[in-house]
Amino acid sequence: MIQIGAFIKVIDNSGAKLVYCIRFRSGFQKRRATIGDIIVVVVKFLRAKRRAYTKVKQGAIVHALVVQTKRGLKSFTGDQISFLENAVILLNRSNKLIGTRVFGVLPKQLRFTRFMRVLSLSVGSC
């Protein structure tokens, strides 16, 4: 579960390293975001390599898809999956991926959302 004001790790090759959550994209008085939700973030830190060639700049406001949370997520079969850290993938205004690769394992629950392309770019799914 991600709240407003959280620093979150980016696991794609868009050039950002850490982002800061400022708003949830949908929901009336929503307090937490879970896997599959879209949030609005600010890019705080960039990766050290190739800072001049990044696809996003520091301080840019972009949308992000939540793909990993520390808090467990229950599946339909009763299994509970949790990760060691919170992580997102950056999107542009029209919900297209900014990066071309995704580092790390993603949950199979993303298969039932409209972001099926994210699973094909990732290393594996659990």
Give domain limits for the chain: 7-101
- In this prediction, residue 41 carries a pLDDT of 97
Q: Which residues, 6 or more positions from 56, have their beta carbon under 8 angstroms from its beta carbon?
A: 14, 15, 16, 43, 46, 62, 90, 98
The structure tokens listed for 111 are 């298969």
The structure tokens listed for 82 are 């949790």
The structure tokens listed for 119 are 């699973």
Cβ neighbours of 67 (radius 10 Å): 25
7-101: which CATH number, 1.20.1050.10, 3.50.30.50, 2.40.150.20, 3.20.110.10? 2.40.150.20
pLDDT (tens digit, 9 = 90+) per residue, 33-69? 988 899 999 999 998 877 777 889 999 999 999 999 9
pLDDT at residue 1 is higher than 90: no
pLDDT (tens digit, 9 = 90+) per residue, 28-43? 888 999 888 999 999 9
- Closest by CA position to 8, among listed 54, 56, 49, 67: 67
**Can you give the pTM of this predicted structure?**
0.89
Q: Residue 10 forms beta bridges with which residues?
A: 88
